[in-house]
Amino acid sequence: MNWTLMWDSLPRLLAALPLTLQLVVLALAFGAVLAFATALLRLSGNRVAVALTAAYTFIFRGTPLLVQIFLIYYGLSQIDLIRDSFLWPVLSQPMWCAILALALNTGAYTSEILRGAIETVPQGQVEAARACGMSRVRLFRRIVLPVAIRQMLPAYGNEVILMVKASSLASTITMMEITGVARRMIAQTFAVFEIFIVAGILYLLINFVATRLIRHAEWRMTPYLRARA
């Protein structure tokens, strides 16, 4: 073990940390919006909407994320309609292709998590809210959605961890995030073991902070359990 090399590699890997966090945060944000819309369409009862959203979740949950990244980054450039559209200045950038692939992937998984959480909301609470005269929109906003979010947080925490680790695949399309910088340093020093250990520790620290934030959100959203304890 070359401890000096590991210590010297830390500043360069830390310099790539903001890009990794940017990829993860933007992908989770866009994916959350997409998941919310997809889950509502899956529960809408409209056959066309249900079929389209079911196909979307099946495709993006059933295919490797690396294949999705390659298809978006290399495949979209082969379509003349996209190259001639206003989207090309964005989709020609590897960062936005990576964010799009990550967002579509996490959106598919998160939509299923949210849909399952909505379906498990106790029917008694829904009936009680209807008996109080709540409209469907207010019922969903004040009863169904808060309960569903509380129930989905543990599973969503796992999805956040998976997205942090999946962001390393962005290095395959020239993104210089943590893994991309680590691969470049390994090509220069041939110290695979030492540099990947430092990179792995950084990912571990990111996921440690993410799990703590999820646990804090669970604690804040379950005051009735705290009182009971």
- Contact (Cβ atoms closer than 8 angstroms) between residue 91 and residue 97: yes
Taking residues 31-41, report their average pLDDT. Answer: 95
pTM: 0.91
Answer whether residue 117 shows pLDDT above 70.
yes
For position 224, what pLDDT does the model report? 66
Q: In whole angstroms, what is the distance from residue 6 CA to residue 2 CA? A: 6
Q: Tokens 């579509």 sit at which residue?
A: 104
d(CA 195, CA 198): 5
> What's the distance, CA 152 to chain centroid?
14
Calculate helix-pair angle for 145-166, 192-221, nearest 10 degrees: 170
Average pLDDT over residues 157-176: 94
What pLDDT, on the 0 to 100 scale, is given for residue 123?
85
- Residues 182, 10: Cα–Cα separation, whole Å: 10
Q: Is a pLDDT exceeding 60 seen at residue 6?
A: yes
% the chain with pLDDT above 70: 97
From CA 93, how far away is CA 103, in angstroms rounded?
A: 15
